[in-house]
């Protein structure tokens, strides 16, 4: 069986507080409650795209499989803008555009999933074959009975896809998807809902 080695700070959606290189309110800054999603809307950044099925629908550098969150994580762990392009084979112009966007106070959507009966916290350190360098990340909100991150639904919708497509693509019960979206709408979430 193949094993995956991950640095816990480099995971998108890590719940720990990190230095200020991360966008204010990014998903990596969940404060004290891991059930609260604080999601950056990267659609306004010209160097990024949302492609369903690529990195769970996260915003990635155009034409690459490198999530925008990777740049934020790189910077918080001591990396520099100058070293990122060589490490990840991304052009410097795109790196600068993403950095400028994330430090300019991008739109952030917040959803508190506490009380949504179709969401549970899943500890990714319990996934077979995945081992972490450093402490494992805290649990993340997933659809009940799955390991599918709830945040992936919102990324999928930002890519212009529908809730039904998400349900069919990732084999998540459509009733659960609808319930999460209703829960988000009831809280005033302003991002795409379906």
On whether residue 115 sits in a domain, the answer given is yes
Average pLDDT over residues 172-176: 96
What's the pLDDT at 33? Answer: 82
d(C-alpha 192, C-alpha 121), whole Å = 23
* CA trace torsion 87, 92, 94, 95 (10° rounding): 60
b/e sequence 5-33, b meaning 16+ C-beta within 10 Å: ebebbbbbbbbeebeebbbebbbbbbeee
Name the pLDDT band for 163 (thresholds 50, 70, 90): very high
Name the pLDDT band for 34 (thresholds 50, 70, 90): confident
Query: Domain limits at 137?
Result: 4-186
On whether residue 193 sits in a domain, the answer given is no
What tokens appear for 7 in the block? 């640095």
Of all residues in the chain, the percent with pLDDT exceeding 90 is 38
On whether residue 94 sits in a domain, the answer given is yes
Average pLDDT over residues 1-26: 35
- pLDDT above 60 for 22: no
What's the pLDDT at 3? Answer: 34
> Three-state secondary structure along the chain?
CCCEEEEHHHCCCCCCCCCCCCCCCCCCCCCCCCCEEEEECHHHCCCEEECCCCHHHCEEECCCCCEHHHHHHHHHCCCCCCCHHHHHCCCHHHHHHHHHHHHCCCCEEEEECCCCCCEEEECHHHCCCEEEECCCCCCEEEECCCCCEHHHHHHHHHCCCCHHHHHHHHCCCHHHHHHHHHHHHHCCCCCCCC
What's the pLDDT at 5? Answer: 32
What's the pLDDT at 4? Answer: 32
On whether residue 129 sits in a domain, the answer given is yes
Average pLDDT over residues 27-54: 78
Give how many domains the chain has, as a whole number.
1
On whether residue 81 sits in a domain, the answer given is yes
Kindly tell me the sign of the dihedral angle through the C-alpha atoms of 165, 146, 128, 9.
positive
83-107: pLDDT as tens digits: 999 999 999 999 999 999 989 988 7
On whether residue 103 sits in a domain, the answer given is yes
What's the pLDDT at 126? Answer: 63
Please report where in the chains the tokens 């179709």 appear, as a residue.
118
pTM above 0.75, yes or no: no
On whether residue 191 sits in a domain, the answer given is no
- pLDDT above 60 for 7: no
- pLDDT above 80 for 81: yes
Give 11 or 165, the one with higher predicted confidence.
165
Backbone φ and ψ of 121, nearest 5°: -85, 130
108-121: pLDDT as tens digits: 888 899 999 999 99
Residue 74, CA distances (Å) to 31, 47, 126, 150, 177 in order: 20, 17, 25, 24, 32
What's the pLDDT at 181? Answer: 94
What's the pLDDT at 193? Answer: 66
On whether residue 194 sits in a domain, the answer given is no
């Amino acid at each position: 069986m193949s094993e995956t080695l991950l640095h816990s700070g480099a995971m998108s959606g890590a719940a720990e507080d990190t230095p200020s290189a991360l966008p204010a309110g990014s998903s990596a800054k969940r404060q004290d409650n891991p059930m609260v999603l604080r999601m950056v809307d990267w659609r306004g950044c010209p160097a990024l795209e949302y492609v369903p099925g690529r990195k769970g629908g996260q915003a990635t550098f155009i034409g690459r499989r490198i999530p925008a969150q990777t740049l934020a994580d790189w910077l918080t762990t001591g990396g520099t803008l100058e070293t990122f392009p060589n490490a990840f084979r991304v052009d410097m112009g795109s790196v600068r555009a993403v950095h400028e966007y994330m430090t300019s106070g991008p739109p952030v959507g917040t959803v508190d999933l506490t009380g949504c009966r179709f969401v549970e916290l899943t500890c990714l350190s319990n996934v077979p074959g995945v081992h972490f360098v450093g402490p494992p990340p805290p649990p993340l909100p997933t659809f009940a009975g799955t390991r599918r991150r709830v945040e992936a639904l919102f990324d999928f919708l930002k890519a212009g896809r529908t809730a039904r497509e998400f349900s069919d693509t990732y084999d998540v019960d459509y009733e659960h998807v609808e319930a999460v979206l209703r829960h988000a709408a009831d809280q005033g979430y302003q991002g795409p809902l379906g």
